[in-house]
């Protein structure tokens, strides 16, 4: 069972439905007992970095997430939910993140339109189980203005935009994140979620 | 590199699509969700629901449709038609749509664009603009009420204002071309694309897949919207994309 963390940050329904379509049972919850039972945890999110962190604090979710991470439960952050996996964010004001991944989140440094919005091609930086069902140059759907600047060894996939590389997938051990929306990325997104499903079984 | 988007648009009234759609084997030809799912399977990059329901009392129907759409589609959904207030934005986005398209209300109250982008982010605020060339050919005027009412606003001034207020995208419809199937209004698109730095979607006049290739080859628009071309089954979205690939236009294909 996958728990989609409910911390009042954007619509969670489409993420939930995307998992249902591939036959994964999900529960949207912020209950510690429920989260403790999870085989996999999804951290979604649409909004701003400081509000996301404030809400995690407000609902007392930070410690349980740290505990589950240490227990080796696969965790997948999506969009803003991926950004708060990092050490800090500069959106609105400097805010501390969960610190599960090394690096920080800043306004993207790019000579192209911001927000980076639409379908872009994935380039693989290294091998990773999340990529097993897809290939390079497959398209996924992005909507964001801020991006993670991770350390090199935690970067799994990126895409090219203007003259810059945009962080697309990051991972370290059982902690993973997608800047794009797999739940809005058609068949490719579905295949990424299926790969995540295999990790939790 | 970002893909050029191909966007089918469905006109919806009282929860049903207005124009008949020709799909083989489609159970309910009037159900927007069934049709949108077909487009999703054909590799549409986004779907637009344009709600032309006249009465406010029937707004629950569109809410229900958006919820079903968001749960059954694996691509982004844009909803427009009858948006008047910030509460309309809230209802549509919380029901699961990804973007809201606003037209007349933005002209009557431009601050709505700012309020919506401040609250929900620029990425979900699409301003739909209907425009027509002036008789003296000195430029373009912005129209509302389905092209019946000339606002007297200059198109270029208006799109610049939209961008400054926080619009995330312009959906530009040529009233001269809409329904003609003579191809997109390249000249008008170029004028708008030169004036703003936000994405511009071309609409109005698409008659065949060559028109879509033409608009991507001759302008720097980000997407092309069409209705009847796809609804009547004259071309599938995949066929349009195949044609784009032949012309080296970057598009997303089914895997």
B113-161 per-position pLDDT tens digit: 999 998 888 889 999 999 999 999 999 999 998 788 999 999 999 999 9
d(CA A27, CA B255): 30
The C-alpha of B241 sits at a distance from chain A's nearest C-alpha, in angstroms, of 14
Mean pLDDT of chain B: 91
Which of A9, A102, A193 has the alpha carbon at shortest distance from B74? Answer: A193
H/E stretch holding A189 reads: helix A186-199
pLDDT band at A69 (very low <50, low <70, confident <90, very high): very high
Mode of pairing for the β-strands spanning A40-43 and A75-78? parallel
d(CA B104, CA B129): 9
**Residue B169 CB-half CA count within 13 A:** 27
Contact A184 B96 (CB under 8 A): no
B60-77 per-position pLDDT tens digit: 888 999 999 988 999 999
pLDDT score, position A114: 86
Contact A184 B98 (CB under 8 A): yes
d(CA B53, CA B55): 6
Contact A113 B94 (CB under 8 A): no
The count of residues in chain B is 255
Mode of pairing for the β-strands spanning B169-174 and A26-29? unpaired
d(CA B139, CA B172): 15
Mutate to test the interface with B, among A11, A45, A83, A111 (most CBs of B within 10 A): A11
Q: Write down all domains in chain A, each with its CATH number in brackets.
A: 2-199 (3.40.50.880)
Residues of B with CB under 8 A from a CB of A: 1-3, 5, 40, 43, 45, 67, 70-72, 74-76, 93-94, 96, 98, 121-123, 168-169, 197-199, 222-223, 252, 254-255
pLDDT band at B59 (very low <50, low <70, confident <90, very high): confident
Average pLDDT over residues A63-77: 98
pLDDT band at B17 (very low <50, low <70, confident <90, very high): confident
Residue A122, pLDDT above cutoff 60: yes
Contact A120 B45 (CB under 8 A): no
pLDDT band at A62 (very low <50, low <70, confident <90, very high): very high
- The catalytic residue among A87, A151, A181, A187 is A181
pLDDT score, position B29: 65
The model's pTM is: 0.92
* Residue entry with tokens 């999340």: A130
Mutate to test the interface with B, among A119, A134, A140, A158 (most CBs of B within 10 A): A119
d(CA B190, CA B172): 11
Residue A11, pLDDT above cutoff 80: no
A162-183 per-position pLDDT tens digit: 999 999 999 999 999 999 999 9
Average pLDDT over residues B44-48: 97
Residues 6+ apart with CB under 8 A from B87: none
Residues 6+ apart with CB under 8 A from B124: B89, B93, B98, B99, B100, B116, B168
Average pLDDT over residues B29-48: 92
Between B198 and B233, the higher pLDDT residue: B198
Contact A115 B168 (CB under 8 A): yes
- In chain A, the residue whose alpha carbon lies closest to the alpha carbon of B69 is A14
pLDDT score, position B120: 87
Terminal C-alpha separation, chain A: 9
The C-alpha of B170 sits at a distance from chain A's nearest C-alpha, in angstroms, of 13
Average pLDDT over residues A29-50: 95
pLDDT score, position A12: 84
Average pLDDT over residues B191-208: 95
pLDDT band at A14 (very low <50, low <70, confident <90, very high): confident
pLDDT score, position B119: 86
B166-175 per-position pLDDT tens digit: 999 999 999 9
pLDDT score, position A174: 98
ipTM of this complex: 0.89
Is A151 part of the annotated catalytic residue set?
A: no
d(CA A152, CA A150): 6
| Alpha helices in chain B, H assignment, sequence order | 32-41, 59-72, 86-94, 104-108, 111-120, 155-165, 186-195, 209-218, 228-231, 237-246
Q: Are B122 and B167 in contact (CB under 8 A)?
A: yes
- Cβ-Cβ contacts under 8 Å, A180 against chain B: none
pLDDT band at A13 (very low <50, low <70, confident <90, very high): confident
Which of B74, B168, B223 is closest, CB to CB, to A186?
B74
Contact A184 B254 (CB under 8 A): no
Residue B23, pLDDT above cutoff 60: no
pLDDT band at B26 (very low <50, low <70, confident <90, very high): low
pLDDT band at B27 (very low <50, low <70, confident <90, very high): low
Contact A186 B75 (CB under 8 A): yes
Contact A188 B255 (CB under 8 A): yes
Contact A113 B198 (CB under 8 A): yes
> Domain B5-246 belongs to what topology?
TIM Barrel (3.20.20)
The C-alpha of A71 sits at a distance from chain B's nearest C-alpha, in angstroms, of 32
Which of B108, B149, B107, B97 has the alpha carbon at shortest distance from B129? Answer: B107
Tell me how many residue pairs between chain A and chain B have CB atoms under 8 A apart. 81
pLDDT score, position A51: 92
**Extended strands (E) in chain A:** 2-5, 26-29, 40-43, 75-78, 88-89, 95-96, 103-107, 116-121, 123-124, 139-144, 146-150, 155-161, 164-172, 175-178
pLDDT score, position B110: 97
Residue A68, pLDDT above cutoff 60: yes
Mutate to test the interface with B, among A118, A123, A189 (most CBs of B within 10 A): A118
Residue B19, pLDDT above cutoff 80: no
The C-alpha of A92 sits at a distance from chain B's nearest C-alpha, in angstroms, of 12
pLDDT band at B179 (very low <50, low <70, confident <90, very high): confident
The C-alpha of A104 sits at a distance from chain B's nearest C-alpha, in angstroms, of 21
* Residue entry with tokens 């290939």: A135
Is B11 part of the annotated catalytic residue set?
A: yes
What b-and-e string marks burial along A12-39, b requiring 16 or more CB atoms within 10 Å of the CB?
Answer: bbbbbbbbeeeebebebebeeeebeebe
């Amino acid at each position: 069972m996958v728990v989609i963390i409910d911390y009042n940050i954007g619509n969670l329904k489409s993420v939930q439905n995307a998992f249902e379509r591939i036959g994964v049972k999900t529960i949207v919850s912020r209950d510690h007992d429920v989260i403790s039972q999870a085989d996999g945890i999804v951290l979604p999110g649409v909004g701003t970095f400081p509000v996301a962190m404030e809400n995690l604090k407000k609902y007392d979710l930070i410690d349980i997430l740290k505990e589950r991470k240490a227990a080796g439960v696969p965790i997948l952050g999506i969009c803003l939910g991926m950004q708060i996996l990092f050490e800090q964010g500069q959106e609105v004001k400097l805010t501390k993140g969960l610190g599960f991944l090394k690096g920080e989140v800043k306004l993207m440094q790019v000579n192209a339109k911001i927000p980076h919005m639409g379908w872009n091609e994935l380039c693989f930086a290294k091998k990773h189980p999340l990529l097993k069902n897809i290939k390079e140059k497959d398209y996924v759907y992005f909507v964001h203005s801020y991006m993670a600047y991770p350390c090199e060894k935690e970067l799994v996939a990126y895409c090219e935009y203007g003259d810059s590389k945009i962080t697309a997938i990051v991972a370290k051990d059982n902690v993973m994140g997608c800047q794009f929306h797999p739940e809005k990325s058609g068949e490719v997104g579905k295949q990424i979620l299926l790969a995540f499903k295999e990790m939790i079984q | 590199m970002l893909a050029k988007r191909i966007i089918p648009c469905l006109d919806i009234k009282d929860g049903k699509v207005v124009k008949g759609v020709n799909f083989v084997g489609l159970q309910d030809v009037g159900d927007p969700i069934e049709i949108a799912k077909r487009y999703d399977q054909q590799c549409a990059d986004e779907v637009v629901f344009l709600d032309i329901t006249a009465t406010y009392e029937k707004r629950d129907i569109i809410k229900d449709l958006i919820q079903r759409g968001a749960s059954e589609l694996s691509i982004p959904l844009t909803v427009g038609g009858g948006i008047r207030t910030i509460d309309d934005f809230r209802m549509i986005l919380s029901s699961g749509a990804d973007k809201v398209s606003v037209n007349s209300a933005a002209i009557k109250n431009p601050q709505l664009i700012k309020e919506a982008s401040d609250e929900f982010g620029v990425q979900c605020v699409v301003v739909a603009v209907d425009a027509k060339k002036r008789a003296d050919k000195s430029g373009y005027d912005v129209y509302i009420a389905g092209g019946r009412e000339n606002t007297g606003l200059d198109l270029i001034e208006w799109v610049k204002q939209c961008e400054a207020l926080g619009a995330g995208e312009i959906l530009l419809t040529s009233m001269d071309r809409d329904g003609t199937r003579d191809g997109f209004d390249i000249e008008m698109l170029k004028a708008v694309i030169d004036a703003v730095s936000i994405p511009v979607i071309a609409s109005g006049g698409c008659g065949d897949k060559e028109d879509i290739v033409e608009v991507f080859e001759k302008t720097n628009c980000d997407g092309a919207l069409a209705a009847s071309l796809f609804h009547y089954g004259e071309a599938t979205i995949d066929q349009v994309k195949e044609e784009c690939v032949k012309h080296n236009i970057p598009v997303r294909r089914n895997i």
